[in-house]
A and B are shown apart, each in its own frame.
Chain A
Amino acid sequence: MKKYIAKRILMSLLTLFLIIFVLFLLIRIMPGDPFSVERMSAEMILQKREELGLNKPVLVQFVDYLKLLASGSFGNGTALYNGAPIKPILMKCLETSFKIGGLSIIFGSVVGLLIGIVAALNRGKFLDGLCTVVSILGVCIPSYVFMIFLQYSFAHKIPFFPYFFDPSQYLFSSIMPALSLSLFSISTIARFTRNEMVEVMNSDYVKLAEAKGLYGFQLIRTHVLRNALIPIVTVIAPLVVDLLTGAMVIEKIYGISGAGKLMVDAISGQGIDYNYVLALGIVFSSMYIAVMLLLDILYGIIDPRIRLTTKEG
C-alpha cells in the first residue's frame, strides 16, 4: 500500500513538473514583450528585458523560475497592478474563491445526492420525473443566468441577501453565488447517483439481501449506497476544480474579488500579465492533480483491485 501511494505521489509530482514546464514554455514563446512598451525607447525596452532576465536562454529562465517557486513566491506581475508581488494578491483572491467554491461543493453534493437517491427509490414514478426535470434544468441553464435571477429576486425584489458581495458578511453573502455555482454539480451528481443506485439495486447481491429479508432504509444504507458512492466520488472530484475556475462570470455579476476575476484582469486588464497567467495556471493545475491523487489513493484503499491492476500495468 505504501509503495502504491509513493508511486502515485511521484507520478503526480512529475506531471506537475511537466505542466509547469509546458506552461512556462507556452508563455515564453508568445510573441511580444510581457510588459507595456508604450512610450518606451528601444534602449529602455532592452534594459527592461535585461532586468526581467528575458535575454537569457529559456532553460535558464525556467530554472530561475523554479528557484523562485521553491522560495515560495510567484515573482512580480509584469503588467497588472504595476508589478506588485503576486503572492499576497493571489492568496487573497484564492481564499475568497475557495470559500464560495467550498460552500457550493458541499451544497452541490448534498442536494445532488438527495435528489439522486429520491429519484432512484421512486423509479418511474412522479418524483423520479420531477428529479429528472430538475437535474436536466441544471445542465440547461448557465449558472450566471441563475445568478442573475437569484440576485434580482432575492436581493432586489425580496431584499433579503445583500445585492453585492459584502466581505463583512462573508458567509451570508456567499450563499447566492454558491447556490448558482452548485447548480451544475447538483444536476451532474443527481443524474449520476440515480443511475448508479439503480444499477446497484438491480444487482444480484442486493436481490439476495432482499431475499434475506432486509428492506427499507437499512438495505439502502448497508448495501446500495455504499457501493453506489464509490463511482460518484469520481464525478465530484473534477467538479471541485471546475467550480473554482468557472466562477468568472458570477464573480463579475456579484462583485466578488476572486480568482476568476483575477484571471480576467490578467488577460484583459492593463495588458496581459504573463506571470499572473502562469501563477494561476500552476495553482489550478496543482489543485487538479492533488484532487486526482487523493482520489486515486482513496480508491486504492477502498478497492484493492485498483491497486493491483495499477501494479501490473
Chain B
Amino acid sequence: MENIYTPDKNDFEFISGRDIEVDKNFSSQGYWKGVAVHFFRNRFAVTGLILVGVVITFAVFAPVFSSYTYEEIVSINDGGREVIAKSLSPQFSGDGSQNLFADKTFIFGTDDLGRDLWTRTWQGARVSLIIAFVAIFIDMLIGTSYGLISGFFGGNVDNIMQRFIEIASSIPTLVIISILAIFMEKGIGLVIASLLITEWIGMSKIARAECLKLREREYVLASRTLGAGSFHIIFKQILPNTIGPMITQVMFSIPVAIFTEAFLSFVGVGIVLPQCSLGSLIEAGFNNITILPYQILSPIAVLAILMLGFNLIGDGLREALAPKLENM
C-alpha cells in the first residue's frame, strides 16, 4: 500500500472558458419574445404580415410617387380638342397601345372619368386603412376600459353594464347606422362613428373575460394589500396583461372595419367623391363590371389581400399567445 499516489496540484489544470458553466441555466425567455418566436415560426402568419406590409407600403408611397393625383382627370390637347384618358385598360408607356396616351403608364388603367386607377386604388387603400385604424384604436380604448371596469368590480356594476351591452348589441348595426345617417353628414365621419358604435362591444367582452380571470391572481391581491386603488390595479396591473388577447381582437376587427366601410360606401353613405376608398371604388367599378372589368378588379384584389393578411396575422397571433393550440 506504499504506492499510493497522492495527486498534487500539477495533475490538475484549470479549464478555461468552455466547460466551466456545466450547469447551464437557460436565460428565462421573455413572454413577448416567446410570442414572437411562435409567431414567426408560423408560415401563414408571416405570409399575412408580408401581405399587409406590402399593401401598407404601397398605400403610403404609391400616391406620393405617382405622376398623377387621385382626383386628377388626365387629358391631353389634341389639336385644340381636349381628349380625356377615360376608361383605358391597363397599359405601360411604350407597350404599343394604340391610343393618344401611348406614352403614359396606367398600371391599373383609368376610370370612366379619366383618372389613374393605380393612384386611386392605393389612395383608397390608404383611406380605408386610416378609417380602420382610427376607429379600431378608439374602440380599443373604449371597449377595454368598459370591459375591465365591468369585470373588475363585478356585482351590480357588472350587471348594469352588461345589461347595457345586451341592449346595445341587440340593435342591429344597420338600424344604428340608419339613425346616425339621419343627423350626420355623409362621409368619413359617419363611417367612423358607425364603427365606433358597433365595434367596441366585442373588445369589451374580451377585456371583461380577461379581467375576470386576472382579478383573482395573487399579484392583484398583493397590490391591494399594499393599498393600491381600484383604478390603479385595473390600469396598471391588469391592463398590461390583457394586451395579448386585445391585439388579437384588433387584428380581427380591422378587416371587419374595412369591410363595413366598403359596405357603407357601396350603399352610398360612405366616402364623398372625388375622395375614394376601396368600397367606393368597388361601387364605381360595379357599374361597368361587364364592359370594363379591370375597373373593379384592382380594388377588390387589394381588399381581398388586406382581409387575408389581417386574418392570417390574427390567427397566428392567437396561436402564438395561447400555445396550447400550438400542437393543433
> Hey, which bits of chain A sit against chain B, CB under 8 A?
15-16, 18-19, 22-23, 26-27, 30-31, 123, 132, 136, 139-142, 144-145, 148, 152, 156, 195, 198-199, 202, 241, 245-246, 248-249, 260, 263-264, 266-268, 272, 274, 277, 280-281, 284-285, 288-289, 292
Q: Is A267 within 8 A of B170, CB to CB?
A: no
Q: Is B308 an interface residue (CB 8 A)?
A: yes
Kindly list chain A residues whose C-beta atoms are within 8 Å of the C-beta of B173: 245
Q: Is B289 within 8 A of A142, CB to CB?
A: no
Q: Complex Cα distance A140/B181, Å?
A: 27
Q: Complex Cα distance A281/B163, Å?
A: 18
26 A-B contacts (beta carbon < 8 Å): A16-B170, A22-B167, A23-B179, A30-B182, A123-B328, A140-B304, A140-B307, A141-B307, A142-B259, A142-B262, A195-B328, A199-B325, A199-B328, A245-B172, A245-B174, A248-B267, A249-B263, A249-B266, A263-B175, A267-B181, A267-B182, A268-B268, A274-B182, A277-B182, A281-B171, A284-B172
Q: Is B172 within 8 A of A136, CB to CB?
A: no
Within 8 A of A (CB), among B241-256: 255
Q: Is B311 within 8 A of A288, CB to CB?
A: no
Interface SS of B by simple majority = helix
Q: Is B308 within 8 A of A140, CB to CB?
A: yes
Interface contact tally, CB-CB below 8 A: 107
Q: Is A139 within 8 A of B307, CB to CB?
A: yes
Interface SS of A by simple majority = helix
Q: Is B311 within 8 A of A136, CB to CB?
A: yes
Contact of A19 among B170, B304, B307 (CB under 8 A): B170
Kindly list chain A residues whose C-beta atoms are within 8 Å of the C-beta of B26: none
Q: Is B167 within 8 A of A263, CB to CB?
A: no
Q: Is B172 within 8 A of A241, CB to CB?
A: yes
Q: Is B166 an interface residue (CB 8 A)?
A: yes
Q: Complex Cα distance A260/B172, Å?
A: 12
Query: 6 closest A-B pairs (Cβ-Cβ)?
Result: A140-B307, A281-B175, A284-B172, A267-B178, A140-B304, A285-B170
Q: Which residue of B lies closest to A277 (CB)?
A: B178
Q: Complex Cα distance A18/B167, Å?
A: 7
Q: Is B92 an interface residue (CB 8 A)?
A: no
Kindly list chain B residues whose C-beta atoms are within 8 Å of the C-beta of A140: 255, 303-304, 307-308, 311
